[in-house]
Structure 1
Amino acid sequence: MMKIVLILFLVYLLGSIPAGLWIGQIFYKKNLREYGSGNTGTTNTFRILGVKAGLATFTFDFFKGTLATLLPLFFQIDGVSPLLFGLAAVLGHTFPIFAGFKGGKAVATSAGVILGFSPLFFIYLIAIFASCLYLSSMISFASVTSAVIAILSVLLFPWLGLIFKSYDWIFTFIILGLASLILIRHLDNIKRIMKKEENLVPFGLNLTKQKPKQ
């Protein structure tokens, strides 16, 4: 039991590493909290620090979720769902002890958790995310839509026999929790989308005709 608690704590610490914040401070002499949305996650890092910093931040945030989910295999831990370790990493990313408990919006790390547990479900969701991103030109819209579809999918797919043969209730509840967390963290983005003022990426169709404030 102590081994499980210790690894859960270590995974939370791993999730708490604010890659974007530290990359900005060390290599660019910028505090992401003072620029753009003030968020320390991938999107704001791309926007403020550029492609290299954004990719580095995304890669780290994504794979810390995957690594956390796979740790029970490495340490031969039985009887505990690996998703609990992934959830600990997401909570660390969202409420990081190393950054005043103010972290990212949970998208990249949650995606990494899903890859570690169900690669096929991950491919399905990433296809939805990419399609929504191209159609809307908004990372926030793609993230919110993917979260909503993830909720519907884990509730319906096992019943329909798609991707999942039966219900894994731990997986279902954790996906519901992660998706809900993503939605809550994007409330400000949703408000801006409704006002047609959300920030855009430099590609895609922008079908909702957003006109972000300069």
Structure 2
Amino acid sequence: MNAGSVLAWAGGLLAAFLIGSLNPATMIARLLGKDLASSGSGNPGATNAGRVLGRKWGVVVGVLDVLKGLVPTFVAGHLFGAHAAYAVGIAAVLGHIWSPFLKGRGGKGVATTLGAILGVHPWVALVVVVVFAVAVLLTRWVAAGSIFGALAMIVVAVLIWTGHAPGDVWTGLWLMGIGLLILGRHKNNVVGWWRQRHLP
């Protein structure tokens, strides 16, 4: 890899990270005179935006967060191939989760992850959306949809590795990695649910 290629990769990853770092929920809330950090769950993501600002704004934020993952990943995939798309997609998700514009804070990365997957593997995104929707309908809990959606990514990764779904080892590693990342971001939700179910 020559110096020009290294610079192109570095520039692409930095651009994706900064795009991911832009936080529509916080920006829209400020325009409406609200502070998401001190309202609802305090999370600067689509779910809390919908809770604090209203469902319409939650949907708007969700769509914008999806686009943050979709656009960079789609462009990188078409220009440089799937491996570049995987790297750019992770950069966008990491930017959303640990935004320098929010002093290292950020959302849980679910919508941006969905966008990244949609940009390179739409069929996997469809599986994740279906699992997410069914889980939310059954539990009435958005976090449950996110958790089961992440588990679906991990299952697809295993199916790829065992030859039961299309894709190579890197596709499986990518899906496994972002699935575990999303699960990690929902650790407190899982712990809270467990305590509620099993502690007196």
Question: Normalising by the residue count of structure 1, what TM-score does the alignment of the two structures yield?
Answer: 0.84
Alignment match, 1:23: 28
Question: Normalising by the residue count of structure 2, what TM-score does the alignment of the two structures yield?
Answer: 0.89
C-alpha offsets along residues 51-102 of structure 1, whole Å, 9 cap, x if unaligned? 221111101100110111112256x335843111111100000011111110
Amino acid across the alignment from 2:60: A
Identity over aligned pairs, percent? 30
Alignment match, 2:132: 129
Distance 1:87 1:79 in 2: 12
Distance 1:109 1:45 in 2: 15
Distance 1:18 1:79 in 2: 26
Cα distance, 1:157 vs structure 2 = 4.2
Q: Is the 8 A contact 1:65 1:111 kept in 2?
A: yes
Distance 1:96 1:72 in 2: 21
Does 2:188 correspond to 1:192? no
What is the aligned-residue RMSD (CA, Å)? 1.7
Alignment match, 1:54: 58
Structure with the bigger percentage of helix: 2
SS in 2 for 1:102: coil
Alignment match, 1:94: 97
Distance 1:14 1:112 in 2: 13
Alignment match, 2:47: 43
Distance 1:140 1:174 in 2: 22
Cα distance, 1:192 vs structure 2 = 2.3
Does 2:11 correspond to 1:3? no
Cα distance, 1:161 vs structure 2 = 2.8
C-alpha offsets along residues 169-202 of structure 1, whole Å, 9 cap, x if unaligned? 22211211111111111111112222449xxxxx
Gaps of 5+ in 1: 198-214
Q: Is the 8 A contact 1:81 1:170 kept in 2?
A: no
Does 2:73 correspond to 1:69? yes
- Alignment length (residue pairs): 192
Cα distance, 1:21 vs structure 2 = 0.6
Which residues of 2 match residues 156-175 of structure 1 at below 5 A? 156-157=159-160, 159-162=162-165, 164=166, 167-175=167-175
Amino acid across the alignment from 2:68: K
Alignment match, 1:85: 88
Distance 1:23 1:87 in 2: 24
Gaps of 5+ in 2: none
SS in 1 for 2:143: helix
